[in-house]
Homo-oligomer: A and B are copies of this chain.
Amino acid sequence: MANKHLKIRIYNGGTVAMGPGKAELLETIDTCGSISSAAKQMQMSYRRAWELVDVMNKCFNQPVVTSASGGQHGGGAHLTDFGRFILKSYRDLVVKAQLATELELNQILSNLNQSE
């Protein structure tokens, strides 16, 4: 039953500004301190991780992640306060949505076949 679930994405025009994957990436960058190590931990190419960050930074009116190259450890990336704010808003949004729609969600999920 863990494979039946709800996903919420927030769009800016045709592009996803925030969603499950981007939120997870932000959290992983926060704990890892760099895009590359976050990508490795999430088993995602650096290219893709960087692109997701780029999309977010371009969608919002402030950067959610700042980064620098060079230095002793090659550089790194970290969430901005704004990034933390957006991330928390999204996480809260998902939780509240799940709570508020328990009835309807269950009406749908309980009628799904098993998958995988």
Q: Which A residues are within 8 Å of any B CB, using their own CB?
A: 3-15, 17-18, 58-62, 82, 85-86, 89-90, 92-93, 96-97, 99-101, 104-105, 107-109, 111-113, 115-116
Contact = CB atoms under 8 A, between A and B. Distances in A.
A116 B11 CA distance: 12
Given A61-B112, A101-B96, A10 B5 contact: yes
What's the number of copies of this chain in the assembled complex?
A: 2
Given A3-B13, A10-B6, A111 B96 contact: no
B8 A8 contact: yes
B6 A109 contact: no
A96 B90 contact: no
A26 to B, nearest CB: 13
B11 A4 contact: yes
A13 B90 contact: no
B4 A6 contact: no
A60 B107 contact: no
